[in-house]
Amino acid sequence: MIDYHVHLWPHEEKADEGDLAVGRVADYTAAAASQGVREIALTEHLFRFVQGRAIVDRWWETVTGPSARHLDASVEAYFDHHATADLDRYVETALAAKKAGLPVKIGLEVDYYPGRMDAVARLLAGYPFDVLLGSVHWLGNWMFDDLADGAQMAEWDRRPVADSWRAYAEALEELAGTGACDVLAHPDLIKVTGRVPDAGVVEECEERIAEAAASSGLAAEISSAGLVKPCREDYPSPSLLRRFAARDVPVTFASDTHGTGRVGDRNDELVAAAAAAGYRSVRSFEARVGTDAPLGAPGTPPTP
């Protein structure tokens, strides 16, 4: 199988340029192979790179009202901590790993930046990416999934949960419509803290997310990352996964690991979840072109 959501650096650590080496990538592919995973995609966050920050910096000031200005310093500090790596060197390392025969795809996780996605697309068009994940981590300047930031987490008590879910669905719809990505990452991330509105709102938001993926021709990932978060559930939920299947939205598999520790985590279970929802194939990417292969049984590679 595949793990198409792999990060080189833990969130809490600054990017270490020493990790941009073929030997470090080999550590990941070896960890993947031990879990029965035949191919990984390196998908570091765009905001980790100075080239990305140059384009998206301070986007939040144009989309957030005065009532949330108290969060600006938190977001700026987050970027100061994270946006230190060089995108050119990252891509060069991934290309060298591929040339060395390692089963690696070159990718990024591209967060949604309202009003900046055209500029993001122009930047990314200059690189030989295989797959681009699209994700929503911010609603304005609210980093709703930054569990370690007290100010950001306090916002959950200031905002109605239903409104937050609907704002997330709207942002994901807008992201899907930009054409800047190939796969929706952790597509119901808004549930990360375990706060869930009533069933009607969940159904509404899941319908919107599934339709956004289908109408934009995107795949969606099935990720084991949610199980280690307060929501204690994979992304997407079983009901959202069924909605994707009903609309023929292709799927990839993901651990969202930050470091080698969770590469290929519970991949067999993700395969089984896909099969239970009605999937018979998994999508891989090369040069941003998707190819489907038979899903196969958990623990076995798909047929080429």
Question: Which strands form 257-258's sheet, in the order they lie side by side?
Answer: 251-254, 219-223, 183-184, 131-135, 104-111, 39-45, 2-7, 257-258
Confidence of residue 18 (pLDDT cuts 50, 70, 90): low
- Please report the pLDDT score of residue 10 as a whole number: 74
Tens digit of each residue's pLDDT (9 = 90 or more) over 94-128? 999 999 999 999 999 999 999 999 999 999 999 99
- The answer on pLDDT for 299 being more than 50 is no
Q: Are strands 289-294 and 281-286 parallel, antiparallel or unpaired?
A: antiparallel
Amino acid identity for residue 22 in this structure: V
First-residue to last-residue Cα distance in the chain: 11
Domains of the chain: 2-294 (3.20.20.140)
Rounded Cα–Cα distance for residues 260 and 249 (Å)? 29
Tens digit of each residue's pLDDT (9 = 90 or more) over 243-254? 999 999 999 999
Tens digit of each residue's pLDDT (9 = 90 or more) over 134-148? 999 999 999 999 999
- Please report the pLDDT score of residue 89 as a whole number: 95
Query: 64 vs 50, which has greater pLDDT?
Result: 50
Q: Are strands 2-7 and 39-45 parallel, antiparallel or unpaired?
A: parallel
* Range picked from 80-94, 173-187, 255-269 for highest mean pLDDT: 173-187
- Could you give phi then psi for residue 170, rounded to 5 degrees? -65, -45
Percent of the chain having pLDDT more than 90?
81
- Could you give phi then psi for residue 240, rounded to 5 degrees? -70, -35
Tens digit of each residue's pLDDT (9 = 90 or more) over 205-214? 999 999 999 9
Token pair 């023929």: residue: 248
Q: What is the DSSP track for the chain? A: -EEEEEESS-TTS---GGG-SHHHHHHHHHHHHHTT--EEEEEEEGGGBHHHHHHHTTGGGGT--GGGGGGHHHHHHHHHHH--B-HHHHHHHHHHHHHTT--EEEEEEEE--TTTHHHHHHHHTTS--SEEEEE--EETTEETT-TT-HHHHHGGGTS-HHHHHHHHHHHHHHHHHHT--SEESSTTGGGTTS----HHHHHHHHHHHHHHHHHHT-EEEEESGGGGSTT-SPBSPHHHHHHHHHTT--EEEE--EESGGGTTTTHHHHHHHHHHTT--EEEEEETTEEEEEE--STTSPPP-
Mean pLDDT along residues 46-66: 88
- Please report the pLDDT score of residue 64 as a whole number: 73
Query: 261 vs 234, which has greater pLDDT?
Result: 234
Rounded Cα–Cα distance for residues 111 and 94 (Å)? 20
- The answer on pLDDT for 304 being more than 70 is no
Q: Are strands 251-254 and 219-223 parallel, antiparallel or unpaired?
A: parallel
- The answer on pLDDT for 65 being more than 60 is yes
Provide the token pair at 134.
């699209």
pTM given for the model: 0.94
